[in-house]
Amino acid sequence: MTRVTIDPATDMLGLIDVQPTFMPGGELAVPDGDAVVAPINRLLAGPFQHAFATQDWHPPGHISFASSHPGHAPFEDITVAYGRQTLWPDHAMQESANAAIHPGIAQARIAAIIRKGTYRHIDSYSAFFENDRATPTGLDGWLRSRGVRRLFLCGLATDFCVAWSAEDAGSLGYETYVVDDASRGIGLPGPGNRTTLELSRERLIERGVRFLSSADVI
């Protein structure tokens, strides 16, 4: 891909759920999830003057927890009031150490932290909307008030929270990129012998989201 020159006035880096709960040893570990820390720190130390971060921040008994649905197991899909819901192990528990932003992340340039999944009855993958697709997180208004036009998203997991955030960002009118080497995916089995990682990438490309590496950002 052609290298992209960052304009600090209108471009922003978005760290999606870079939390120990999604890294090796965490409750919902993404394979190689801790490998995102180094490239993210390089981006934070380099071209981006400002960034935002999201945190999954779940109360006990959250609707996304398999433990909240007797007879069901993690990674099963069920139907809830707002549609399909994948069930997960209990994770990102409010005020736990594993729900914090990873301690290895240099946070000096993180200007806002958006907490999502805080309502017990609604899950939230996207940085912009809860999974009912109607309840906003407030991120869009904050970005617009700062004049942001392009978003560079990274973090965990590529095929869930990063993908949903990128899809919504594009729909809201932001030119959107996913920084591949600063993200990692889960890769659950999906329809047609395709993984969620493959399917989400194809969906995002169809919607105009571009993928690049941290080395392409200058």
Active site residues: 17, 116, 161
Phi, psi of 166, rounded to the nearest 5 degrees: -65, -40
Cα separation, 37 vs 30, in Å, equals 13
DSSP symbol at 179: E
Contact 85, 131 (CB under 8 A): yes
Helix (H) or strand (E) holding 52: strand 51-56
Helix (H) or strand (E) holding 79: strand 77-80
**Which whole-number Å values give the CA distances from 205 to 91, 199, 209, in the listed order?**
30, 10, 5
Q: How many CA atoms lie within 13 A of 1 on its CB side?
A: 17
Cα separation, 218 vs 184, in Å, equals 22
Q: Which residue has the tokens 């919504």?
A: 168
Which residue type is seen at 28? L
Structural tokens at position 53: 């971060």
Q: Comparing C-alpha atoms, which of 184, 208, 200, 193 is closest to residue 38?
A: 184
